[in-house]
Structure formats: C-alpha cells, structure tokens
C-alpha cells in the first residue's frame, strides 16, 4: 500500500516491510529476492479510492534515517 509517501508491503496479509518519505509517484515496480529463489503468483496492483484504509488496518512503518 502506498499513501502520501508511505509504502507498506504485505505478503499473505502479513506486514513484511515499509518505507516512509517515498518521493516517486509513478514508474516501474521491481520484485526481487535476496539470496533465495522466489516465485510470484496472483500479484494484484490497484489504486485504492480515498479513505479506503483506516488506522486499525494499517501496518506499522519502519522509518529510516
């Protein structure tokens, strides 16, 4: 999920990574694995309408310095 520069990645409904202060608004998406073979299936990318997420269903964000 990406909202106002905050990007959150979930796999099978579980938060796995995130970043804040992202400035890129459009472009390519890269999927990669570090160290092991990985297979992707049923990837869905969609634009969410405003107000679709609430504080209760947002994952925490890992802030980098």
Tens of pLDDT, residue by residue over 12-26, are 778 888 888 888 777
Give the integer Cα–Cα distance in Å for 18 and 63. Answer: 8
Instruction: Give pLDDT, residue 28.
Output: 81
Cβ(48)–Cβ(39) under 8 Å? no
Instruction: Give pLDDT, residue 60.
Output: 59
List the chain pLDDT tens, one digit each, 65 residues: 777 778 888 877 788 888 888 887 777 878 887 888 888 888 877 776 766 666 555 555 556 65
- Where do the domains of the chain lie? 1-65
């Amino acid at each position: 999920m990406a909202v106002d520069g905050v990007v959150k990645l979930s796999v099978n409904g579980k938060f796995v990574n995130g970043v804040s202060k992202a400035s890129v608004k459009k472009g390519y998406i890269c999927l990669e694995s570090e160290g092991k073979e990985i297979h992707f299936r049923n990837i869905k990318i969609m634009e969410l309408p405003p107000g679709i997420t609430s504080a209760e269903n947002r994952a925490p964000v890992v802030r980098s310095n």
